[in-house]
A and B are shown apart, each in its own frame.
Chain A
Amino acid sequence: DTAVSQTPKYLVTQMGNDKSIKCEQNLGHDTMYWYKQDSKKFLKIMFSYNNKELIINETVPNRFSPKSPDKAHLNLHINSLELGDSAVYFCASSSSPGLARDEQFFGPGTRLTVL
């Protein structure tokens, strides 16, 4: 009964490769997010979708492309991986902001290591 799940948990790959991370939530939320957490633990929002519509698109390289096939899924595809992409990537979901319980629920994270 995992609320927000991500696969894979670990991803080790060579520079220049293309990889995808998948995220699914079973909380019935209509908003999902991708975050990047660097080695200093700083959290950076990358993208957010609300009901399959892109609503946050922060300044990230266009090698990163999110895709939301439905409101329960948000995937992240990364082309031409670079060393600096090494980080932990978190998926999160929430109900619409402004509701009484609109906090974000996080997945377990995907630790990406680019060699």
Chain B
Amino acid sequence: ELKVEQNPLFLSMQEGKNYTIYCNYSTTSDRLYWYRQDPGKSLESLFVLLSNGAVKQEGRLMASLDTKARLSTLHITAAVHDLSATYFCAVNFDSNYQLIWGAGTKLIIKP
């Protein structure tokens, strides 16, 4: 069964702290996507990770992909309140049209 699991599902943290969201998936893939969703808004593409060892960074967010471990991480450095959102990872298995989505991680950053 194709599965994508995120943890934690909920994270409350203080501004200035670092933290990591994990995305595990069940079988081989080399295409993984991270999205952000603000409350009441649409989903916005953050990162596209296409190969083992891929690392992408945008501001305080950094995403990486380890295809051997079937694991992607989204690392938040020195969190600020504006990063509060729900973060989703999604995996494309076998270059299929269908993405398998994680359940999302709701991140709350307190000033």
Q: A residues within 8 A CB of B103?
A: 40-42
> Does B96 contact A107, Cβ atoms closer than 8 Å?
no
Chain A interface (Cβ < 8 Å from any Cβ of B): 31, 40-43, 45, 48, 50, 55-56, 90, 92, 97-98, 100-109
Q: Give which listed residue, B45, B48, B99, B104, contacts A45 with CB less than 8 A.
A: B99
The DSSP consensus for interface residues of chain A is loop
Known: A41-B37, A41-B104, A100-B50. A106 touches B95 (CB 8 A): no
Q: B residues within 8 A CB of A41?
A: 37, 86, 103-104, 106
Interface size on B, residues (CB 8 A): 22
Q: A40 to chain B: closest CB distance in Å?
A: 8
> Does A97 contact B95, Cβ atoms closer than 8 Å?
yes
How many angstroms between the C-alpha atoms of A48 and B96 in the bound complex?
11
> Does A43 contact B42, Cβ atoms closer than 8 Å?
no
How many angstroms between the C-alpha atoms of A104 and B45 in the bound complex?
8
Chain B interface (Cβ < 8 Å from any Cβ of A): 31, 33, 37, 41-45, 48, 50, 86, 88, 92, 95-99, 101, 103-104, 106
Q: B56 to chain A: closest CB distance in Å?
A: 12
> Does A98 contact B42, Cβ atoms closer than 8 Å?
no
Q: A residues within 8 A CB of B44?
A: 106
> Does B97 contact A56, Cβ atoms closer than 8 Å?
yes
> Does B97 contact A31, Cβ atoms closer than 8 Å?
yes
Q: B residues within 8 A CB of A104?
A: 33, 45, 99
How many angstroms between the C-alpha atoms of A31 and B106 in the bound complex?
29
> Does A50 contact B42, Cβ atoms closer than 8 Å?
no
Q: Give which listed residue, A43, A97, A103, contacts B96 with CB less than 8 A.
A: A97
Q: A66 to chain B: closest CB distance in Å?
A: 14
Q: B88 to chain A: closest CB distance in Å?
A: 7
